[in-house]
Amino acid sequence: MTVMAYDLTGRTACVTGAASGIGRACAVLLAEAGATVHCADHDAPGLHETAALIKAAGGTAHTHTLDVTDRAQVTEAVATAAAATGTLDILAAIAGIMHDSPVLETRDEDLDRVLAVNFKGVLYACQEAARTMIAAGTRGSIVTMASGAVDTGGPGLLCYGAAKAAVVQLTKTLATEVGRHGIRVNAVAPGWIRTPMTTRHDESAQAHTESLMVRLAPLGRVGEPLDVAHAVLHLASDAAAFTTGQILRPNGGVAMPW
């Protein structure tokens, strides 16, 4: 195995949630590895910043302003991404939202919204990507974004954790169904990563949470978006050619499930 296994030259990737945080880091890294990256998000200014970063580094980026909860918009974006080469090689389904509410205070609309973005949004992208890959005979890679919440639980994590657990089940189920086409499907379950999602406006609350995470993590620090992007690159690339249905955990060692 050489570093050539990480070379994505000539491949087409679609990254949802690409306007910010982990999704942006993934889009930039996949482009640095040589892929043409289709960046999708509902935050148009953020998307254009990501595309500008990629282009400034000599990469190729396209933007798709969409809501991942709208199946038709996701279908159109994947079709557009696949139009140039006739296929999609990589999907990184990263868009997500955080929601924090105790079980006894959780309302139907909270659950519906979080499941719509964090689960159905991933499902729609996975379905379209897999259909496109199968039709073109492409031995592609699909990477979904779960969370350490599925390992540890925690107060307030009902909606978010349920959606991420559903993403894990989707990942394993799809991996068993499309493996015979040579398509791999894996999840990444990060620990605490410093992004706009986890950066609080209250600096002292932020410092308190981060110091707790640092104490819990054997590696003694919180994560950065690039830590997760490296995991996504690995799973997207030929370096992970014999890996499917797995959960990769860039979490500093906070959780060590079997």
- Quick one: which of 195, 234, 235, 244 contacts ligand NAI (CB under 6 A)? 195
CA 143/CA 155 separation, integer angstroms: 27
Smallest distance from the beta carbon of 134 to ligand NAI, in angstroms? 25
Chain mean position to CA 173: 17
**Among residues 132 and 195, whose Cβ is nearest to ligand NAI?**
195
Residue selected from 12, 36, 63, 69 as contacting ligand NAI according to rule CB under 6 A: 69
| Helix (H) or strand (E) segment spanning residue 212 | helix 203-216
Q: Which helix (H) or strand (E) holds 36?
A: strand 36-41
Contact pattern for ligand NAI over residues 95 through 134, marking x by CB under 6 A: xxx-------------------x---x-------------
> Which alpha helices (H) appear in 38-99, and where do they start and end?
44-56, 71-83
In whole angstroms, the minimum distance from the beta carbon of 246 to ligand NAI comes to 16
To ligand NAI, the closest distance from the beta carbon of 136 in angstroms equals 25
In the set 14, 90, 187, 193, which binds ligand NAI (CB under 6 A)? 193
Find the catalytic residue in 6, 119, 124, 160.
160
160 is catalytic: yes
Strand order in the sheet with 247-248: 60-65, 36-41, 12-16, 90-93, 141-145, 184-188, 247-248
**At a CB cut-off of 8 Å and minimum separation 6, what does 250 contact?**
188, 190, 191, 223, 227, 228, 230, 231
- 41 or 128, CB closer to ligand NAI? 41
The residue range among 27-35, 64-72, 81-89, 150-158 that interacts with ligand NAI, by the rule CB under 6 A, is 64-72
Task: Determine the residue type at 140.
Answer: G
Q: Which of 153, 196, 220, 253 binds ligand NAI (CB under 6 A)?
A: 196
Contact 188, 228 (CB under 8 A): yes
Question: Which residues bind to ligand NAI, rule: CB under 6 A?
Answer: 17, 19-23, 41-43, 46, 67-69, 94-97, 117, 121, 145, 147-148, 190, 192-193, 195-198
Positions marked catalytic: 160
